[in-house]
Amino acid sequence: MRELRSLMVAAGFVLACLVLMPVQALVLLLRHPASDAVPQLFFRIVLALMGARVVVRGEIARGTPLLVTSNHTSYLDIPVIGSVAPLSFIAKRQVRDWPLFGVLAQLDRSVFVDRDSRGRAVDDVAQIKARLAKGETLVLFPEGTSNTGNGVLAFKSALIGAVHYRAEGEKAGPPVQVQPLSVAYTRLHGLPMGRQFRPNFAWYGDMSLIPHLWRVFGIGPFDVELEFHEPVALDAFPSRKALTSHVQEVVHAGVGAALSGRRPEPARPQAEPEGARAPAVVPPMSPAPTA
């Protein structure tokens, strides 16, 4: 049954790519506003095929340039986060060369950065600043790599700090908000997902992508919890390390609370748009405590 499920989900995934990738390419070429909606629809279809339910707590900040800082467990984080709002991701430059997934990332207007080259850092930061100046929402994974799903790795301050920094004589852009986001894979087939099952969704180390993706396609329904914490002003902290420390502490606390099950019962999912499962939403909670 698992192999059959994997085959059916893979077929649906390929079909969604064949239908929506040309549509997204066209609307990008025409600079049509639908370029924000098509990736979100694609992500929701993919999650619905896998039987994923996304529970959202808090609200993503609106009406301001926004840098979302999230923990990173797997490539699954992309459709999970991308299904709840129009946004783009900051990805390592190697992703652009991946078969199919690199094209998908480009169609989602990802910003590709070279985390290993200081020589390209200036250009990378300029890209991010330009996109934020347009009022866009970008998602950054400050861990720099994915984790096992059972915790949060140390956040790196380089890109956060670079965006925070303004060179002498550089004009101030529009105020940028930084919003911590916690992502936790919490249930499998409706039951709490223990530490031993969570690595089935996490993709880290030297895991091969295609075998892991095939296994995820066949594993069955699962729940993911997103918590959008209270946003803070980019310039509200005296240094990049202080800002990075704050967002790491908030995300760490949010992930810990979700994995431990110290949560109220989630609300029922919203109506499913056009056959794709929409995220469930619960009322905003108070920000996670910081150290």
pLDDT digits (tens, 9 = 90+) for 35-64: 999 999 999 999 999 999 999 999 999 888
CB atoms within 10 A of CB 211: 9
- Place 2 in a pLDDT band, splitting at 50, 70 and 90: confident
pLDDT digits (tens, 9 = 90+) for 236-265: 888 888 999 999 999 999 999 998 876 555
Residue 259: both structure tokens together = 């994995």
CA distance 8 to 280: 25
Q: Where are the domains of the chain?
A: 2-282
Q: What is the pLDDT of residue 71?
A: 94
Q: What is the pLDDT of residue 231?
A: 94
Q: Give Cα separations from 281 to 27, 57, 223, 226 (angstroms).
A: 29, 6, 13, 10
pTM of the prediction?
Answer: 0.84
Q: Per-residue pLDDT averaged across 211-227, rounded?
A: 92
CA distance 192 to 188: 6
Q: Find the radius of gyration of the CA atoms of the chain.
A: 18
Q: How many CA atoms, within 13 angstroms, populate the side-chain half-sphere of residue 270? A: 14
Q: What is the mean pLDDT of the chain?
A: 84
Q: What is the pLDDT of residue 260?
A: 87
Q: Per-residue pLDDT averaged across 152-164, rounded?
A: 79
59-73 burial code (b ≥16 CB/10 A, e <16): ebbeeebbbbbbbbb
Above 80 in pLDDT, residue 174? no
Above 90 in pLDDT, residue 222? yes
User: Percent of the chain having pLDDT more than 90?
Assistant: 49
Among 198, 221, 201, 224, which residue's Cα sits nearest to residue 280?
224
More confident residue, 117 or 180: 180
